[in-house]
Amino acid sequence: MPSALTYFPPMGVYETLFKFLDATGQYMGTDGTHPWAQGFPLTSQLPGGPEMPTSISFSHSDLKYPQATGGIELLTALRDYYNHFYGADVSTDNIAVFAGGRPGIYATLAFLKPEYHVLIEETEYTPYWDALKILKRQHKIVPSNPDNGFRPSLADYQAAAQQDKSFVVKSNPCNPTGVTWQGDTLHQMVDWCSEEGRGGLIDEAYEFFQTGEPDSAMRHVKDIDQTNLFVVSAATKGLQAPGLRVGWVVASKANIELFRNFSSIAMGGVARPSQICTSLLLELDRAQHARKSVGEFYGSQRARYRQALEDLGFDLFTGDGGFYHWGRLPGGLTADDFNERLFAHHAAILPGTLCDMFRRGADSPLAKFVRFSFGPLTADTFDDDIKILRQALS
Ligand SMILES: Cc1ncc(COP(=O)(O)O)c(C=O)c1O
């Protein structure tokens, strides 16, 4: 019986996971695999970091339906978080809770008015492409390629925008490049997106993974109620809890009301135990501790893998944020061929073509680029990792 549904494939990262399973008989991320293709963080306590929760308590009243846009303890924790760390001036009515970062991103794009053209960098987070395609969103590509070192400027966005109504979709720090807009640069982007006829979704999933003190668009927004800005984040990376499935969007009260309506129609809120756990993770002292230890641990991992990958001949373009290295393979090797070699070692990287917002496949200028994830790696796997990489390159 043919399916009654329109077909669409899984997002690109899963393509690599399935190839890996076919080649190795193992799921990437299980014991004995080297999950360099995957974007999850360690869920264990980091060196010098806060303890990770292993239990929560809740009562029978938490088994009731949750509130549409989030329970008061999580909304309050998020409000206090942004107001404390970034001097923002948001209330709980400026926040909507979703089951992870992606549902918040998808909902925003789903309800974006069709006259807004999405502006998106050429090299970006894989499922943005799938979401834009499924939702048939008009978009213009902002150059982000080897020619500009994967470092587009606001002027590049302005050139792509022309006279249209424009809506920026941007991961910051960027997945996969790690390029991070902070300070004045971020301020100018926020100002530009705040103008009449413009808006933007700034995806801060990797907010904690920055060199030095993390920055956020929320530091630079004057009055979010007067904007079409959507600042998205999740418990997934910085709070090291992808399994909780909690994400959120900070936006104007009018836009949050639409998410409330959406939740009442199509989501029914987010699991109470997950919300309670996330609100405890966000408690201000713990959040401060986590920001520092995540930044330090992953900063040191970024530095040592940078050195080692460069010594192996990778041409790296990685910025100062995130937990990926982004670069060109040595010796003209393609990422797909490199993966075939890595599969023999139960390892894999993410081929750069999956971050190509033009999806040019083998013809892509990114075909020889890889995203190497050190997110799931403890400090003690380094020597083995480099040994495997060296063997696969020889
Ligand atoms: C740029 C970016 N945004 C958002 C997410 C959100 O992830 P999740 O939907 O798992 O919370 C991720 C995870 O890989 C990401 O890399």
pLDDT for 92-138, tens place per residue? 999 999 999 999 999 999 999 999 999 999 999 999 999 999 999 99
Measured from the CA of 125, which atom of ligand 1 is nearest?
1
- 102 CB under 6 A from ligand 1? yes
Residue with tokens 């040191």, as numbered in its chain = 300
Count of CB atoms situated within 10 Å of the CB of 267: 18
Count of CB atoms situated within 10 Å of the CB of 83: 14
Provide the token pair at 61: 């009243």
Edge-to-edge strands of the sheet including 369-373? Answer: 315-316, 324-328, 369-373, 350-351
The tally of CA atoms less than 13 A away on the side-chain side of residue 138 is 11
Distance 67 CA to ligand 1 centre (A): 23
Q: Any alpha helices (H) in the chain, and if so which ranges?
A: 12-24, 72-86, 101-111, 126-134, 154-161, 183-193, 253-262, 272-281, 284-311, 335-343, 382-393
Measured from the CA of 171, which atom of ligand 1 is nearest?
1
Q: How far apart are the first and last CA of the chain?
A: 49
Element at 232 (helix H, strand E): strand 229-234
- Per-residue model confidence (pLDDT) at position 301: 98
Mutate to test the pocket of ligand 1, among 236, 274, 326 (most ligand atoms within 8 A of CB): 236
pLDDT per position as a tens digit, 185-207: 999 999 999 999 999 999 999 99
Q: Per-block average pLDDT, block size 10, for the chain (394 residues)? A: 92 85 91 94 98 96 95 98 98 98 98 97 97 96 98 98 92 98 98 97 98 96 98 98 98 98 96 98 98 98 98 98 98 97 96 97 96 98 98 96
Q: Give nearest CA residue, ligand 1 atom 6.
A: 101
- 339 CB under 6 A from ligand 1? no
- Per-residue model confidence (pLDDT) at position 11: 83
Measured from the CA of 39, which atom of ligand 1 is nearest?
14
- 376 CB under 6 A from ligand 1? no
- Per-residue model confidence (pLDDT) at position 9: 87
Closest listed residue to residue 178, CA positions, set 325, 352, 368: 325
- 375 CB under 6 A from ligand 1? no
Give the separation between CA 29 and CA 364, rounded to whole angstroms.
28
- 259 CB under 6 A from ligand 1? no
Give the separation between CA 194 and CA 347, rounded to whole angstroms.
43
Domains of the chain: 12-47+293-393 (3.90.1150.10), 60-286 (3.40.640.10)
- 236 CB under 6 A from ligand 1? yes
- C-alpha 306, offset from chain centre: 20
The tally of CA atoms less than 13 A away on the side-chain side of residue 393 is 17
Helix axes 284-311, 382-393, angle to 10 degrees: 30
Using a cut of 0.85, tell me whether the model's pTM lies above it: yes
Which of helix, strand or coil describes residue 287?
A: helix
Edge-to-edge strands of the sheet including 116-121? Answer: 95-98, 247-250, 229-234, 198-203, 165-171, 116-121, 139-142
> How many H-runs (helices) and E-runs (strands) does the chain carry?
11, 11
